[in-house]
Amino acid sequence: MYDAPNLGAKVEQKTNKIEANGVQVYYGDTHAIKDVSVAIESNTVTAFIGPSGCGKSTFLRCLNRMNDTIDICRIEGDIRLDGEDIYDKRVDPVQLRAKVGMVFQKPNPFPKSIYDNIAYGPRIHGLAKSKADLDEIVEKSLRRGAIWNEVKDRLHEPGTGLSGGQQQRLCIARAIATEPEVLLMDEPCSALDPIATAQVEELIDELRAQYSVVIVTHSMQQAARVSQKTAFFHLGHLVEYDNTSTIFTNPRDERTESYITGRIG
Amino acid sequence: MNAGLVILAVIALATLGYFVGRARALAKAGGDIRGLHSLPNYYGQTVFLFTAVPALLVCVGWLLLQPLYVEHRVSDMITPADIAEGSSQSLVMADIRRIATGLDTAVARGALTGADLSSLSADATDVRALLAGVGVALASEVKGSVLAAAKEYRAATATLKMAMSVVVILIALAGFVLSLRRLRPDFRARNVSETAIKALLILASSVAILTTVGIIFSLVFETANFFGLHSAADFFFGLTWNPQFRGGSDLGILPLLWGTLYVSFVALLFAVPIGLLVAIYLSEYASNRVRTIVKPAVEILAGIPTIVYGLFALITVGPLLRDYFAQPLGLGTSSSSVLTAGLVMGVMLIPFVSSLSDDVINAVPQSMRDGSYGLGATQSETVKQVILPAALPGIVGAILLAASRAIGETMIVVMGAGAAAKLSLNPLEAMTTITVKIVSQLTGDTEFASPETLVAFALGLSLFVVTLGLNVLALYIVRKYREQYE
């Protein structure tokens, strides 16, 4: 069931959630992202693929301004979330990150209990009015993170005590708990075994109903399995961006074809 | 031949062995180092080690045991009648040693010849005047038996020295020859060298451990002497500290312990928040440029000698606190106070807390920060709720280390807090600490064997137990929580 490309795109009318135009990113003197323009649709899983160092993670981190924390990083161009420029002076990156959540390559639960890990975001942003409210958010997030059944009896044990796959689903649940509109995932399965990967992929597919998901992956099979749209990056350029089925069956650019068939990368 | 020359000779022989061994190993392999188990240098090192190490060990052992043996032989020659009123066996032995060296000097200067020396007798010659002539002053006339003992001492020492030179050089030569004979291409010289390195490392670490054990023993024995002379109940539970020259002193540790803890508490109250904030600023907020300037600047504080801090407390902080706080508020008139010492000590402790905490905070993985920022947390929320909890065990360790440093501090307290042992809550009053009293009891005029002096060891041991306890606690906390965050 995981081998066939997901051909179920174009089910409903989609709007562009994020629009990037002419984005350039520099790390000091290195020109990491060269003139990338892409439109990410709502309720869609968009995969960024490409060889290591092609800039896909860098670009992903531009979408919620995580690159702001790196001193030498400089960004030009225009990225809009729901039509609003996220690099505008009036936009608070902290607020933006609450709307555009992120899941990282390595599971990074906080050294707190499972409950506190999930409650972290809601507490910061004041999403819960009462303890009962917070309990409900935690349960709902853990359920949506497909980990509730495994942890419901040990909510007050440390999150670091879970297995790698559980930790990653905990981190996804933690990101969901702040009610983001977009979920960015930077190689979320690279540290996981195949079974945990399958669970996370299943989860990503379910998340599509509520969020717009952007996933960076090294595994082309994974991109084919979970995404509806795929963007292929190479040496800082966005080479091709299209429906996943098109990219994998009928790519326009020969570099895409070479990469997909394993000749470059 | 004296010991220094013997050691030099052994080392010279061993160095020669290094080159010979290396050449010989190469020759045995037919000039091709691939035919050897180890590189030629290792064969050279092996010969060096077998030549030098056993010989030097014997030399050191001999030098340690020789005086014991000689004194044992000589002490049999002294009768109780030779020991004058008010003197003791050890004083007579010291005299014998002095006379022996005096005779050596006299012979060396030509004031005596070998023949003179053997016929020298206490009745015929004024030995005291003779020795005074070569610069060795004696307290009393030399008795016949003592002179005989000194001569025996001299003779035995000379014989044994010669014997040692011969034995040590023979051992070195034996090591040299035997190790050269053992050199074959398949001899595992690398492994020998590895064992030697390991032994060296163990030796180095045992120096540290044995010193600690030695310190503890010296404290424990003197403390036991003290408790033989003074009641333990008064020491541990007594509320007054009032040493008297004539004896019958009150030697209660509680006022001193209170002073120690009070001053340390004030110091930590000042140093921990500031040090922690400095650490947070440096590790989370400061740009690289600021960090490279501020971090060394803060650490300079740790390099200031405590006596200089003491001067600062004495002439600046103390009068300042007295004039603007204590007197206007009617809380005291002394420029020495707990607050003075505590504040200045706090300044001294800032770099301890900040530097260690900074390292700990930096060790919190970047992924924790990313995770928190990715959820829309601000920097201070991240620090407060993720970084500090993760770094807490390390920070607690840093604080406890600072605390044991504060408890052991002396100079700042002498100059800042005064020397009056008092049980009081008023931070603007002069108080004193255990360390200060250790110094004043040991440097006083009282006899060493009196409880007033020996109490210093009991105080030292108590202090040692307290700081040891703190360090163990710090290590325990750090270990217990460390793995949880890795």
Question: How far is residue B120's CA from residue B129's CA, in Å, rounded to a whole number?
Answer: 13
Q: Which of A37, A83, A43 is nearest to A59 (CA)?
A: A37
Residues B324 and B471 in one domain: yes
What is the 8-class DSSP label of residue B239? -
Low-confidence spans in chain A with pLDDT less than 50: 1-2, 4-11
Q: Does residue B86 form part of some domain?
A: yes
Domain ranges in chain A?
Answer: 16-260
What's the sign of the alpha-carbon dihedral B267, B269, B272, B274? negative
Question: Which residue type sits at B258?
Answer: W
| Nearest-Cα residue of chain B relative to residue A168 | B371
Identify the bridge partners of residue A36 per DSSP, sorted by sequence position. A23
Q: How many C-beta atoms surround the C-beta of residue B146 within 10 A?
A: 23
Q: Report how far apart, in Å, the C-alpha atoms of B222 and of each of A120, A233, B22, B475 are.
A: 58, 77, 54, 29
Say if the Cβ atoms of B371 and A108 lie within 8 Å: yes
Nearest CA in chain A to B367: A108
For helices A131-144 and A164-177, the axis angle rounded to 10 degrees is: 130
Contact list in B for residue A174 (CB cut-off 8 A) is 371, 375
Contacts of B368 (CB under 8 A, 6+ apart): A108, A110, A111, B386, B387, B390
Reported ipTM: 0.85
d(CA B222, CA B449): 9
B250 with B131, same domain: the answer is no
Co-location of B137 and B249 in the same domain: no
**Which fold, A16-260?**
Rossmann fold (3.40.50)
Q: Name the amino acid, one letter, at B195.
A: T
In sequence order, what are the beta bridge partners of B363?
none
pLDDT tens-digit series, residues B6-17: 999 999 999 999
- CB of A72 within 8 Å of any CB in chain B? no
Helices B189-229, B40-75: axis angle to 10 degrees equals: 30
Which of B157, B187, B217 marks a domain boundary? Answer: B187
Structural domain total, chain B: 2
Question: What are the structure tokens assigned to B242, written together?
Answer: 């009032």
Same domain? For B170 and B287 the reply is no
Long-range Cβ contacts of A152-159 (<8 Å, 24+ apart): A154/A114, A155/A113, A155/A114, A155/A115, A156/A113, A156/A114, A156/A115, A157/A113, A157/A114, A158/A111, A158/A112, A158/A113, A158/A114, A158/B484, A159/A109, A159/A110, A159/A111, A159/A112, A159/A113, A159/A114, A159/A116, A159/A117
Please name the member of B288, B376, B390 whose beta carbon is closest to the beta carbon of A121: B376
Q: What is the pLDDT of residue A8?
A: 46
- Which value, in Å, is the radius of gyration of the alpha carbons in chain B? 32
Domain range enclosing B51: 3-187
3-class DSSP state of B72:
helix
Low-confidence ranges of chain B (pLDDT < 50): 486
Do B302 and B371 sit in the same domain of this protein?
Answer: yes
Please report where in the chains the tokens 């879970």 appear, as a residue. A162
Asked whether residue B470 is assigned to any structural domain, the reply reads yes
Q: Residue B227 falls within a domain, yes or no? A: no
Give the Cα separation of A151 and A32 in Å (integer).
41
User: Letter for the amino acid at B353?
Assistant: V
**Do residues B255 and B369 share a domain?**
yes
Query: Which chain B residues are within 8 Å of A66, Cβ to Cβ?
Result: 370, 373-374
Contact of B304 with B348, CB cutoff 8 Å: yes
Enumerate residues 195 to 254 of chain A having a beta carbon within 8 A of any beta carbon in chain B.
none
pLDDT 10s digits, A101-151? 999 988 999 988 999 999 999 999 988 889 999 999 999 999 888 889 899
Phi-psi sector, A48: left (phi>0), alpha (psi -120 to 50), beta: beta
Same domain for B157 and B21? yes
- Of B421, B371, B412, B397, which Cα lies nearest the Cα of B473? B397
| Per-residue pLDDT at B149 | 82
Same domain for B405 and B256? yes
**Nearest C-alpha in B relative to A64:** B374
CA distance to partner chain A, nearest, from residue B363 (Å): 14
CA distance B345 to B337: 12
How many angstroms separate the first and last alpha carbons of chain A?
A: 26
Q: Which residues of A touch B374 (CB under 8 A)?
A: 64, 66, 97, 101-104, 175
* Residue B38 to residues B14, B15, B198, Cα–Cα distance (Å): 19, 19, 18
What would the pLDDT profile of B222-246 be if each residue is shown by its tens digit? Answer: 999 899 888 888 889 888 888 887 7
Mutation target to probe the B interface, by most B beta carbons within 10 A, among A108, A113, A137 is: A108
State residue B124's pLDDT score.
66
CA distance B12 to A144: 79
Tokens 């702040």 -> residue: A178
User: Which of A69, A112, A120 is facing B375, going by the closest CB pair?
Assistant: A120
B474, two tokens: 């710090």
Last residue of a domain, one of B187, B222, B251: B187
Tell me the CATH number at B327: 1.10.3720.10
Mutating which of B283, B368, B375, B485 best tests the A interface, going by the most A Cβ atoms within 10 A? Answer: B375
